[in-house]
């Protein structure tokens, strides 16, 4: 594999981490996140999904992996592995970040 797709994979992993943080923790989306949390019971799965870095990163990572395949940056057979890898990188980074 060429260097260029590898660089894109790393960039997409970091972009997955950033978008996940935007959804789960950043102040910019705090109001919509709080509205979802207020509208749902505490034990509702969707309430958990909007604050869970590991959960959100799975969806964001899947979109990033599919987007890269759609753009022709890598083969479609890599999409499942990249989605899991992006999610894991995001979860790992989030666990070391602390509350921001």
DSSP per residue, 4-35: HHHHHHHHHHHHHHHHHHHHHT-GGGHHHHHH
d(CA 53, CA 34): 16
Domain boundaries, the chain: 3-95
pLDDT beyond 60 at 31: yes
Q: How confident is the model at residue 58 (pLDDT cuts 50, 70, 90)?
A: very high
Question: Is 91 within 8 Å of 57 (Cβ atoms)?
Answer: yes
Whether 67 shows a pLDDT value over 70: the answer reads yes
Q: Tally the C-alpha atoms within 13 A of residue 73's C-alpha that lie toward its C-beta.
A: 20
pLDDT, mean over the chain? 91
| C-alpha span between 67 and 8 (Å, rounded) | 11
How confident is residue 90, by pLDDT bands cut at 50, 70 and 90? very high
Give pTM, 2 decimals: 0.86
Which H or E run contains 43? Answer: none
């Amino acid at each position: 594999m060429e260097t260029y797709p590898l660089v894109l994979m790393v960039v997409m992993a970091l972009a997955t981490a950033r978008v996940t943080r935007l959804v789960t923790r950043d102040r910019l989306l705090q109001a919509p996140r709080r509205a979802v949390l207020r509208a749902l019971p505490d034990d509702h799965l969707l309430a958990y999904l909007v604050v869970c870095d590991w959960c959100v990163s799975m969806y964001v990572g899947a979109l990033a992996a599919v987007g890269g395949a759609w753009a022709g940056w890598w083969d479609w057979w890599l999409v499942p592995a990249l989605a899991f890898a992006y999610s894991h990188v995001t979860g790992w980074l989030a666990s070391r970040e602390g509350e921001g």
